[in-house]
Amino acid sequence: MTRYVFFSGKGGVGKTTMASATAIHYAMESKKTLIVTTDPASNLADVFEQEIGHKITPIKGMDNLRAMEIEPDAATREYKERIIGPFREIMPEDVIASLEENLSGPCTTEMASFDRFIDFMEGDEYDVIVFDTAPTGHTIRLLELPVDWSKHIEESAKGTGQTCLGPVQTIQDSKEKYDRATAVLKDPERTNFIFVMRPEALSLYETIRASRELKTIGIDSGEIVINGILPENVCEIDFFRKKYESQQKVINEAKNAIKKPARKMLLRDNEIKGIGALKDVADELFGGKRTAGFSKSELQACFDLVIDMPDVQRLWLPKRGTKALFFTGKGGVGKTTISCIASVYASQKGFKTLLVTTDPAAHIGEVLDVKVSSEPVQVMENLHAVIVDQEAAFREYKEKVLNDARGKYSDDMVAAMEEELNSPCTEEMAAFDKFIQFIEGRDYDVVVFDTAPTGHTLRLLDLPFDYAKQVEMMVSGDELKEAAQNRFREIINILRDRERTVFNLVLYPESTPILESYRAMLDLKDAGIETRLVVANMILPDGVAVNDFFRNRRAMQMKHLKEIRDRFHLPVMGFPLLDVEPRGLDVLRQSLLLIG
């Protein structure tokens, strides 16, 4: 039987690299292997240095290895045709039109990607399937869906027979498939969950939290990979000795807190891309063999790049009304830290500021050293923070819709609405509704959005456009529908208004974050949204590159900083790597000295 290996963890910890190296390991053992990414902002093609896309693709230079990137739009088209296709020849045109309308809602996209993911757990063509998943919060959501959808289909079949995706009979076959998938996910003989983490306190915190959440749905994680450990022999100066000792402390804490096997991966002096580099990682991951040596040629490429500090006062502070600041980028680039710094900056300038996180694996509370919940809490003078909690948003949204319906419609109609609202799709809509409430609000001068990693942020920002189109398809003349359409149009206008909204891309100077951020900038541009600033984070200070290892890494960063300037044609704000984890208001205030 096919074995499944899932890689999960906080954004930026190296999941794709570890998953790719694991897939290569099994392929080299003559096992027919497939690696699949469920991340909507996949970097799989970048790591393997070849095109992959929404099709099973042979990996060049590797026998027995195939790869696929699940693309939400392509999965949606396939899913809709799979449901509607069998009815085209036997059903009247008005019934087909009704089915197509039911499947035109934004929730179909989530369902389609999920359904495609489940398909891979049905066949026996491969010996091993490796799943490179989206960052933790979205992975937990993905793994909860088989249970949620199976339950929703079962309950709907007992009631009206309607779901948000149409009649139960059109998706009834899916229930058995989801039940089988749930059983496989819970079977440790067939499924192994590996959490990848960095030797950092926040990464450990998220690993522990995610592991506990998996247990609540009956899934027990198998082991952890601690990635990016500083080699002790290159940490001769205080700056890196301090970081090394901090990492070792977290490694010991992980050993005590997580009673699972742990593999350790040392930080490299260059980027990991291509089959050769991935084979080296596989050797270290599975055999403990580390390829020695430095990339001497990189030493010749090292040069200093002067970055002019942009006018953040003009960009981040409001002139009229409320200003929204969005920070997005690949997982692990420091979006939360930069968002917190921007929030403290605006509040200290005297503007009433709200920091909002839309990341389901949010940790702004840990960075601010304040307990943050689904209701705004005060962090300091002029600064509040809040989490868009999906479950709390779902309860609030459901009650709001039902309260509006009671008295206007019959009891049977309200009961039918409640049944449909119990769909897992409603959770996404509820979180989105909460998100746009903060954009619409006028209670704050500045609202800073610490977003989920790129792919999920773009999905969130697509929703006003998707819902506006869906409303246009509905029967005109209804006041409620007209109000909803006007609301979505106003949100779109706010997102496109340079004076009211500023989009900031956060990255660190390596090729994968740069490519992902550049694609995000183009996607935003297609929607009429202009990116205004690039924040290059975790730059090695010149004075700490005292040996070949760190000179190589700094040379690599300098080369990529030039690429950022040449490729994006945007103001670039540089933030240095700190020798401590950025936690607490004191550290954040000190960071403000870097931006004035």
Q: Is the pLDDT of residue 314 over 80?
A: yes
Superfamily of domain 3-292: P-loop containing nucleotide triphosphate hydrolases (3.40.50.300)
Count other Cβ atoms within 10 Å, centred on residue 533: 21
Contact (Cβ atoms closer than 8 angstroms) between residue 421 and residue 433:
no
pLDDT, residue 296, reads 43
Residue 280, classified by CB atoms within 10 Å of its CB into exposed (0-12), middle (13-18) or buried (19+), is: middle
Count other Cβ atoms within 10 Å, centred on residue 233: 8
Highest mean pLDDT among 8-22, 51-65, 156-170, 317-331: 51-65
H-type alpha helices, 422-478 = 425-440, 454-473
- In one-letter notation, the amino acid at residue 49 is E
Q: How far apart are CA 81 and CA 88, in angstroms?
A: 10
Contacts of 77 (CB under 8 A, 6+ apart): none
What's the CATH number for 312-387+445-594? 3.40.50.300
Handedness of CA 422, 371, 315, 438 (dihedral sign): positive
Q: Is the pLDDT of residue 95 over 60?
A: yes
Measured between alpha carbons, how far is residue 226 from residues 204, 255, 271, 563 in Å? 9, 11, 17, 30
Planar angle of CA 110, 6, 289, nearest 5 degrees: 145
392/23: higher pLDDT: 23
H-type alpha helices, 217-288 = 238-257, 274-287
Name the CA dihedral angle for 419, 420, 424, 425, rounded to a multiple of 10 degrees: -170
Q: Which residues of 268-278 are buried (b: 16+ CB within 10 A; e: fewer)?
A: bbebbbebebb
Q: Which pLDDT band, with edges at 50, 70 and 90, does 23 fall under?
A: very high
| Phi, psi dihedrals of residue 474, rounded to the nearest 5° | -80, 170
Q: Where are the domains of the chain?
A: 3-292, 312-387+445-594, 390-443
Which residues are bridge partners to 132 per DSSP? 7, 37
Number of H helices and number of E strands within the chain? Answer: 22, 18
- Strand bridging mode 162-163 / 166-167: antiparallel
Q: Is the pLDDT of residue 211 over 70?
A: yes
Q: Which residues of 47-61 are buried (b: 16+ CB within 10 A; e: fewer)?
A: bbebebebeebebee
Contacts of 29 (CB under 8 A, 6+ apart): none
Closest CA to 297 of 270, 276, 277, 337: 270
Name the CA dihedral angle for 87, 92, 98, 100, rounded to a multiple of 10 degrees: 40
Q: How far apart are CA 194 and CA 188, in angstroms?
A: 12
SS (H, E, C) 467-535: HHHHHHHCCCCCHHHHHHHHHHHHHHHHHHCCCCEEEEEEECCCHHHHHHHHHHHHHHHHCCCCEEEEE
DSSP for residue 87: G
Contacts of 61 (CB under 8 A, 6+ apart): 275
Q: Is the pLDDT of residue 463 over 80?
A: no
pLDDT, residue 298, reads 40
32/441: higher pLDDT: 32
Highest mean pLDDT among 133-137, 146-150, 574-578: 574-578
Q: What is the pLDDT of residues 467-510, one digit of tens each?
A: 555 444 443 445 555 666 677 778 888 888 999 999 999 999 99
DSSP for residue 41: T
Q: Is the pTM of this model over 0.85?
A: no
pLDDT, residue 153, reads 61
**Whole-number mean pLDDT of the chain?**
81
pLDDT, residue 249, reads 96
Q: How far apart are CA 289 and CA 286, in angstroms?
A: 8
- Mean of pLDDT values over 26-54: 89
Tokens for 479, please give them. Answer: 């006041």
Among 331-345, 451-465, 543-557, which stretch is predicted with the lowest mean pLDDT? 451-465
Tokens for 537, please give them. Answer: 């984070």
- Mean of pLDDT values over 397-409: 78
The enclosing H or E element of 45 equals: helix 44-48
Helix 201-216 with 136-158: angle, nearest 10 deg:
20
SS (H, E, C) 275-312: HHHHHHHHHHHHHCCCCCCCCHHHHCCCCCCCCCCCCH
Tokens for 247, please give them. Answer: 């990492």
Measured between alpha carbons, how far is residue 373 from residues 201, 356, 394, 397, 445 in Å? 20, 10, 15, 17, 21
